[in-house]
Amino acid sequence: MKIIIMALANLLLITSCKNKNDATPIFTETKVSLTTHKLATFSATKSTKYLVVFESGLGDDHTVWNNKAVASQVNSNVDVLMYDRAGYGQSENGPTPRNIDRLRSELESVIDKFSNGRKVILIGHSLGGTIIRDYAIKNPLKTAALLFVDPSHEFYNHPTQAEEDMLYDASKNANGANFGGTQEAREFIEDLQYTSALPSLPNVPVIVLTSMRTDATHSSSVMQTWYNAHELLKNGVSDFTHIATTNSGHYIMIDEPALVIDNFKLLISKLP
């Protein structure tokens, strides 16, 4: 049930995040036109060597990355790009199914508009971790490094159809059938099947942050299985750092923003 609980938390948190100061004004909003719809992007660029791209989890638009000014602090050192996936925030609705293959393809289009040939450093939370994982595998020569923030993983996440239906219905009732999170929730099981067939990550620096906070639903043994799933991301990666925290829940970038910032700095220090 952990994946359902975390995803429901995402879907509920998006409203509260929007009501907080997200410091977005330092970023320039631009609409990127795809064949079928437009996506809202938020960038701050100074023509640095790398472009940092943030990918949000299920139920969250780009503002989750500035709930505690994480994106703004990252931008002090390097160019930053955030965006709203289709059906979120300022972006238009996109064609279905809203599965990982399509989400990764749209991420490719967004990056291509801003990278100007530069390699990207990808930061992904929860479902966003799955999207950047697929991007890196499909685009190894465009990927400089990866920072995973409590990412979803098929080794641990095994929702039943009934659980997926519960997640879909909860999102539909709260946000409507066209909400991006609702349409993505409908693909949960298929997405995990898709990622289970993916090869290893490209051999670039990788840092994974894992929440190990226990509660009435998540025992220490359950959280150890979650940690073990994230540990599998090191396959084929020679520079792999895995950090566990008991001070954060699933939203590490909100509970411990300094942990994300510090490990981003560590990640970028590994790059030429």
Write the single-letter amino acid at 239: D
Let me know: does 190 contact 129? Beta carbons within 8 Å. no
Global pTM reads 0.94
For residue 207 the two structure tokens come to 């840092």
In sign, the C-alpha dihedral spanning 134, 138, 141, 142 is negative
The domain that contains 259 carries what CATH number? 3.40.50.1820
Q: How many domains does the chain have?
A: 1
pLDDT reported for residue 114:
97
Q: List per-block mean pLDDT (blocks of 10 residues) for the chain, which spans 272 residues.
A: 55 44 71 98 94 97 95 94 98 98 98 97 98 98 98 93 95 96 97 97 98 93 96 98 97 98 98 97
CA distance 163 to 152: 16
pLDDT reported for residue 10:
55
- Work out the angle at residue 189's Cα, subtended by the Cα atoms of residues 185 and 193, and round it to the nearest 5 degrees: 135
Give the range of the structural domain holding residue 52, as residue numbers without chain letter.
2-269
pLDDT reported for residue 164:
95
pLDDT reported for residue 146:
99
Let me know: does 39 contact 24? Beta carbons within 8 Å. no
pLDDT reported for residue 13:
46
CA distance 179 to 87: 5
pLDDT reported for residue 3:
54
Of 115, 171, 125, the residue nearest 148 (C-alpha) = 125
